Amino acid sequence: MDIKIPEERVGVLVGPGGSMKRLIEEKTKTTLEIDSETGTVRVASAEDPLQALRVMDLVKAIGRGFSPERALSILDDDMLMLDVLDLSKMVGTKSDMARIKGRIIGRDGRSREIMEQLSGSKVSVYGKTVALLGYPEQIRVARTAIEMLLDGAPHGNVYSFLEKKHQELAKEELRDQGVL
């Protein structure tokens, strides 16, 4: 199975002296063949094809701007998912792209940080994409918040939506644990 990542992210995937590549291969019992010229990564697993798919998501997450440490969480829980929104399909010009990315990130990364805290998902804005890493419900909430920002909603309204959803998710979790 092949996946293409930006060439400037290949070094991050490989890690200093190949350490990240080795860690991924050892942890997952897969083999990564990385072409640093094209950014093409081939994932092979003799034992577990599903594990190879998880590694593909891990590689894609690193390619979409997540640090390897954050991306490795994909391997710890089968329910964690990666969702990538292509902003280039939603905006026309470069200045629109910069404005939209700026709205999502916020001043000093504050908007992205609030989104991560209240949705529970991890958010990476890189190139022409926004990548979300989390559980399906967390991703749904974060994606909706991003779409609200793309539609021009004021940040305050988006934060109110996120706060409401955060409280709903917390109640749901307590119910699942039998506390409520």
Q: Please state the pTM of the whole predicted model.
A: 0.90
Residue in 158, 165, 163, 159 with CA at minimum distance from that of residue 139: 165
**Domains annotated on the chain, with CATH:** 2-75 (3.30.1370.10), 81-176 (3.30.1370.10)
DSSP class per residue in 131-161: EEEE-HHHHHHHHHHHHHHHTT--HHHHHHH
Give me the amino acid identity at 86: D
Q: In what order do the strands lie in the sheet with 122-126?
A: 81-86, 129-134, 122-126
180/171 Cα distance (integer angstroms): 8
Q: What is the pLDDT of residues 130-158, one digit of tens each?
A: 999 999 999 999 999 999 999 999 999 99
Q: What is the pLDDT of residues 12-48, one digit of tens each?
A: 999 999 999 999 999 999 999 999 899 999 999 888 8
